[in-house]
Amino acid sequence: MNFNQQYNQFKEQFAGMSPEMKEQMMKMAKEQMKARINGFFKKWFSLPVLTVIAAALGAAVGALMAFFGQVLLAAGVLRDAQPLYFIPGLALAGAAIFLAYKKWGKGAERGMGIVFAVGQGKENNIPLRLIPMVAVGTWLTHLFGGSAGREGVAVQIGATLGHNISKKLPFDNAGHIMLVAGMAAGFGGLFQVPMAATAFALEVLIVGHLDLMALLPAAVAAFTACKVSSMLGLEKFSVDLDGLLKANGGVDVAGLFMNNGVLDINFVIKLTLIGILFGIVGGSFAKLLSLAKDFFAKKFPDGLKRIAIMGVVLSAVLLLLWQGRYSGLGTNLIDLSFVGADGIVTGVHSYDWVFKIALTILTLAIGFQGGEVTPLFSIGATLGATSAVMFGLPFPLAAALGYAAVFGSATNTLWAPILIGCEVFGFGSLPAFFIVCVAAYVCNGNQSIYNQKKLKLKF
């Protein structure tokens, strides 16, 4: 039955009524049909429209990520060239960040906390001022030597833009879908891993739940942001893992799985065991970060004193430990994790991952801006490279597996680390990343660096 037939049916039904009653009932019928028509169009056109808007969002976020990422890398290069000039000023930079947030950052100081609260439906507003505040705060943190990441900025910028755009859209769930799409765009544009970015945005808000309602807009936003940031000159980190394994006298990852033509169970067990280690380390990082934030908040209730006093301590430690080896993102440690001779890594020390954990936690716990993901990449890569001999694995493979799995276990995500391992190190390594990331996910103690919502399942 079409809408004209329905209208005529209503007309016949109310023909015997008084003119006043007929007019009122006809008005109600028209409003009902209008609501149904609007519902029809919203149902069938909301997803295509939101997907087109997500593409535009991805382009905007990709451009922002290219600018933000290039400035951040330039700040790191400048600091590394003159560590004695910049690292001693870390406390002053921290004080400036705190005072700026206090004066101009009302509502933005919670960072990822407010993104997760809005994404989980607990709150309904992310202020646009969050974007410049978190970007400038992170630039200052890195310029003056803080050990922090960058993904938090990317996700916050994308989520903030997506959320504010959605306010002008008439579709149901537009706010949530555009926020998730913005998160995917930020992660994908900065790291240029669109598949992993899509998975990350879909699974990170609620533990054990894939937000498939936002799948298409998130994927389109992530791929668009990745393309735009690449076109604007932001480079992607990638390693030809199979080529590196062969160059070190071994075989590719697929070859490691086979022994005389059959699956090598010993190799699978080795992958499982090292995955358990990565899970414990990633989960411990998340738990220690939470404890450290609580400890310093109680120890120094005044945020300005906390970041200024502990900033002096942090800068002194960073200078004493090889003049900034553990400052910034940790990409220097990631690069060194794939350097070796005679099958043994020579670029990193066995304690690098421990120092990077401690200094990243200290940097973030006392109030500096940034993220955790890139430091987690460096922690995992150095841990994997230096523990490879213990597990009987090639160090480049162990470093690559740690790069992905420690990130996954600390964020309590599964599909994102598997895909990020493939997009960075090659899809020929998919079975290895799957085994290790599953083991890490199971053994992380259900910890996360984010304030994730946990579903309560009844069996």
* CATH at residue 410: 1.10.3080.10
Least confident piece of the model among 170-174, 278-282, 338-342, 448-452: 170-174
Q: Are residues 326 and 210 in the same domain?
A: no
- Identify the band that residue 343 occupies on the pLDDT scale cut at 50, 70 and 90: confident
Backbone torsions φ then ψ of 206, nearest 5 degrees: -130, 125
Q: Average the pLDDT over each of 101-115, 152-166, 281-295, 348-362 and give the range with the smallest value.
A: 101-115
Higher pLDDT, 71 or 20: 71
Per-residue pLDDT for 454 more than 80?
Answer: no
* pLDDT, position 403: 98
- Do residues 346 and 205 both lie within one domain? no
144 contact partners, CB below 8 Å, separation of at least 6: 79, 86, 87, 89, 90, 92, 93, 315
Whether residue 458 has pLDDT greater than 60: no
Would you state the pLDDT for residue 453? 74
pLDDT in the model for residue 247: 86
Contact call for residues 431 and 185 (beta carbons, < 8 A):
no
Domain identity same for 195 and 289: no
pLDDT of residue 32: 65
Same domain (yes/no): 147, 49: yes
Over residues 76-96, mean pLDDT: 96
Q: Is 384 exposed, middle or buried (0-12, 13-18, 19+ CB in 10 A)?
A: buried
Mean pLDDT of 9-25: 62
Kindly tell me if the per-residue pLDDT of 175 is higher than 70: yes
Residue 96 sits in the same domain as residue 158: yes
In a domain, residue 138? The reply is yes
The answer on pLDDT for 204 being more than 70 is: yes
List the single range of 48-57, 85-94, 200-209, 351-360 with lowest mean pLDDT.
200-209
- In tens, the pLDDT along 435-449 reads 999 999 999 999 999
pLDDT band at 74 (very low <50, low <70, confident <90, very high): very high
Q: How far apart are CA 40 and CA 270, in angstroms?
A: 55
**CA 120-123-127 angle, 5° bins:** 115
For residue 28, being part of any structural domain is answered with no
Would you say residue 1 lies in a domain?
no
Residues 224 and 259 occupy one common structural domain: no
Residues 212, 316 within the same domain: no
Is residue 19 domain-resident? Answer: no
Q: Is the pLDDT of residue 242 over 80?
A: yes
> Are residue 388 and residue 362 in the same domain, yes or no?
yes
Residue where a domain terminates, one of 231, 264, 285: 231
Q: Please give the pLDDT value at position 342.
A: 83
Nearest to 148 by CA among 324, 308, 364: 364
Last residue of a domain, one of 211, 231, 251: 231
The residue segments making up the domain with residue 356 are: 241-454
Q: Structure tokens of 16?
A: 């015997």
User: Which pLDDT score, from 0 to 100, does residue 401 have?
Assistant: 98
Specify the pTM. 0.90
My answer on whether 70 and 185 are in the same domain is: yes
Q: Are residues 387 and 274 in contact, defined by beta-carbon separation less than 8 angstroms?
A: yes
Share above pLDDT 70 across residues of the chain, in percent, rounded to a whole number: 89
Kindly state whether residue 341 falls inside one of the protein's structural domains: yes
**pLDDT interval class at 9 (50, 70, 90):** low
Considering the domain architecture, whether residues 194 and 250 belong to the same structural domain is answered as no
**Rounded average pLDDT over 32-56:** 74
Q: Residue 171 has what pLDDT? A: 84
Q: Are residues 122 and 189 in the same domain?
A: yes
Q: What is the pLDDT of residue 207?
A: 86
Q: Give me the sign of the Cα torsion angle 379, 382, 385, 387.
A: negative
Where is average pLDDT lowest: 158-172, 314-328, 391-405, 437-451? 158-172
Number of structural domains (the chain) is: 2
Average pLDDT, stretch 218-232?
A: 98
With bands split at pLDDT 50, 70 and 90, how would you rate the model's confidence at 263?
Answer: very high
At residue 447's C-alpha, the angle toward residues 427 and 279, to 5°, is 45
322 and 245 both lie in a single domain: yes
* 307 pLDDT above the threshold of 70: yes
Q: With 70 as the cut, is the pLDDT of residue 459 above it?
A: no
- Which comes out higher in pLDDT, residue 28 or 373? 373
- Would 2 be classed as within a structural domain? no
Q: Which of 181, 212, 231 is the last residue of a domain?
A: 231
The reply to whether 218 falls in a domain is: yes
Please indicate, yes or no, if residue 29 is contained in any of the structural domains: no
